Structure 1
Amino acid sequence: MRTLVVWCPDWPVLAAEIVDGVAATGPVAVLHANRVVACSERARAEGVRRGLRRREAQGRCPGLIVVDHDPGRDARAFEPVVAAVEEVAVGVEVIRPGACALAARGPSRYLGGEEAAAERIVEHVAQSCAVESQVGIADGAFAAGLAARQGRIVPPGGTPEFLAAQPVEALGRPALVDLLRRLGVRTLGDFAALPAGDVLARFGFDGALAHRLATGRDDHPLAVRRPPADLTVTADLDEPIDRVDVAAFAARTLAARLHERLAGHGLACTRLGIEAVTAHGQELHRVWRHDGLLTPAAITDRVRWQLDGWLSGGARSGGGPERPTAGIIRLRLVPDGVLAQAGLQSGLWGETGAERERASRALSRVQGLLGPESVVTAVLGGGRSPADQTRLVPWGDERLPARPGAAPLPGGGAGPVSMPPWPGRLPPPAPAVVLPTPLAASVWDATGTPVVVSARLAVSAPPARLAVATNVQPATVSGVAAASEIVGWAGPWPVDERWWAPGEARRRARFQVCLADGAALLLAVEGGRWLVEAIYD
């Protein structure tokens, strides 16, 4: 397939200028893992090259401006460029931030040839985004990407000849390139001349894929993206709204329009953005999430609740909604979580459950009046202590853990294999109650001597008695006597965190103890002090 690739030189540097304001005209280098991954033209003029270590790059260019590599920043800054290309030709595939591809046939036929299409795209990107770009056209995305770096249009059928002259470094596989160089293979033509079966046997699957690219055959067709449909609905109000009943009528009309537009595309939404603009230019925004498909009634309810919270809730401290400074003159509904109409599985008997729906409506109503932080749920994740493993998220938000979970333990476990382990974490079962503030405690051995844990994690004597500060005991541990007998214990589980940062270092050891009255506690010793962190059920 004739493929057109749009390439923006030194894109990580340009993205740093667009997002962070770092002047790309100066000596700038973007570093990842202490090596240069991109640099500006001025930095190259002073000897900075990709792959150099930071110290060597700064030695060649003393005035070098160092920027950390941020793929998210590069992708966000590249989105306007992709949108500008889509205004000229549809069906764009983003290869990586700074490069995108599309089939050349459509724009070349519409604009009068491949050269005319390339010129039009370059000019439009420059006018829309003030970004310099180059276009390459060849048979296949890989060859077109190499041609874009030279600003070249390879004639139809000339791709194998064009690739044959390229060095093997164009494959972008350092380990394979180093091996090919030592074997005397210098160009893609030399590599393509090798038998495909021998390449697979000698270099494996990745080498066979690189060999396929060197011969001018792509590994997959273009996976084009379609420009998203504009599903947002907006209502400009003739008179400013400052009453809840009038706002409810406007919400009903706007919700019906949104649902009709979504249904026209065969879509539904599970997350809804509600935006309002007041007569004084104040902008209010809130996102609502629903566990299911938002029907017209559900959309109307949420818009009405939110407007009620804005208009009558007033300004509150602690995360409450901000009262509008004037009447609302514009309402906008933005469907955020969009999926196919049949993309959500119903309940066992066709419904998700009336009780669950009523509970969701009640909690959403509270959030509309008091703010999203007024209703939170717990999400379990990774960590060494029970407090670290729990994260509170507002009701309706994505339930993502703050830390990745732990890998499964030998003999079974619950975490995915790809998750990193947490050395020093407690074994199951988890405690039933985690105290928000640990309680001070004292632990003695059988002779009445305080039990201590040495720097080498040696316990001075088996724990025999425990006393908890009774004046601040919560109800959950009120049954523990002033001095209870310890009939069983396990530990220690040591944790030595952030030892490389003295100001943030923390060294602890945890014990599980079982008392004579049947209570089970999680103890921690830190700095010679014993603390009760959690209670087992």
Structure 2
Amino acid sequence: MAAAVEVDLPPDRPVAVVRAVMVIAGSASARSAGVRRGLRRREAQARCPLLHVAAADDARDARVFEPVAAAVAELIPLIEVLRPGLVVIPARGAVRFFGTEAAAAERLVDAVSAVGMESQVGTADEVFTAACAARRGVVVPSGGSAEFLARLPVAELGVEPSLGGGDRTELLDLLHRLGLRTVGDFAALAATDVATRFGIDAIAAHRQARAVEDRPPSTRALPPGLEVVHHPDPPIDRVDAAAFAGRALAAELHGRLAAAGVACMRLQVSAATANGEVHTRTWRCAEPLTLEGTADRIRWQLDGWITGGRSRKGGTAAPPGPTAPVTLLRLEPVEVVDAGGLQAGIWGGEGDDGARFRRALVRVQGLLGGEAVRVGVRSGGRGPAEQITWVPLGDEPVPERDPAAPRPGRLPQPAPTVLCTGVTVDVTDARGAPVRVTDRGVFTAEPTHLAWDGREWGLSWWAGPWLVDERWWEPGAGPAARAQVLLEPTGRHPTQLAQVRALLLRYAADRWEVEGVYE
């Protein structure tokens, strides 16, 4: 729905959202045409030629979802946002006010319809079961969660990563190959068998399949000094400035959480303007918030609020946004757990040197500006440098080119571990004559030696050349090619191979350059 609103599509136009060329969501008209989650983009377009394909964009989803969250919060204030598109509400107070769960659900659907969006509501004893019920728009009676879940396909355990577990594709594929077709089949397994046969994620999925009660809110008192307040100077009136301030604020919050030895499970984000307007949201997480997760939620919330006053495409009204710049940002942990009970992954976690290194990058970014620190994102291309898109730290890791798209002439594996720029070398044959690449893509002579920075190596092995058939229309463009070479020491320099053994070379404009180093 957010993708359709963004480009002002009619309601009956089939729409699919893809992430890494895989369909992750589809409209009702797209599903009726055979588009399903997990399909590749090309197959989805083949099934539905009129399909509008949009890339996944969390910022867009949060921006379009903010009017929905505001409408729900105006009707029932105690809401917690799990992600853009999904909120959880304690039903007890709503039932006392509206009479029944069905009546409360009907009022919620009407409130969301008033801002031009569609919604579905479900109720159950547990959050996971309620989310499954909301996808079907049903009310699960108290005590009937296990019976309701038992009839659902086992793939239902992986449709909502925000409720814990992350990507369960491999687990669900394994369960299907084992003959477990429904959630009830998986729930019937003994908990000890699941724990010994599968991983930690399977234990959490098994608890959800058995409708085990969710983790209750922590009753422990919060350590003092966790709240973080920031008064931006100058006040914030742009989304990019709000996102940059939110990253710095998230780094400060997680520094205090680490010092107190706790991790945040529920976070309240508040923003206030010079005119006294206050915008507050409580974010609920199935797993402890990371620094990046906190920064994302701040950016989503402020993006939706700051742009909320502008009318959305299609003529639908949106709740008013701020009438003045933001002069205060506050992060307040609502629920924390002991960080000592959290186990980091085998490759490190939030409390290791990698997290401290990332916090240092955020500080450097605060000193030098948002564009000064960039991180690489896997992208599509022929050469190794072309397969990386550099984005500012904290921004959405969106590649410039599809990494899964076919690329004729792509460099074969393995890829070099170190990339180089501007390193010119001389490649010669046995007589000392320069080796070139012809228009037909062959060497003018067999390469035997390589000179680099006044040092010389012999070549014991080479592969290529592979022509780089691109941008041939540019004036003065000649043959370009890549080759891999294996170095060996010569009598003149017998100890020059301490670190370098193999190189990736690129030939263009009648000269050779080192494009990468294999270690």
More strand by share: 1
From the CA coordinates, give the structure whose radius of gyration is larger.
1
TM-score for both structures, normalised by structure 2? 0.50
TM-score for both structures, normalised by structure 1? 0.49
Q: Which has the higher contact order (CA 8 A, sep 6+)?
A: 2
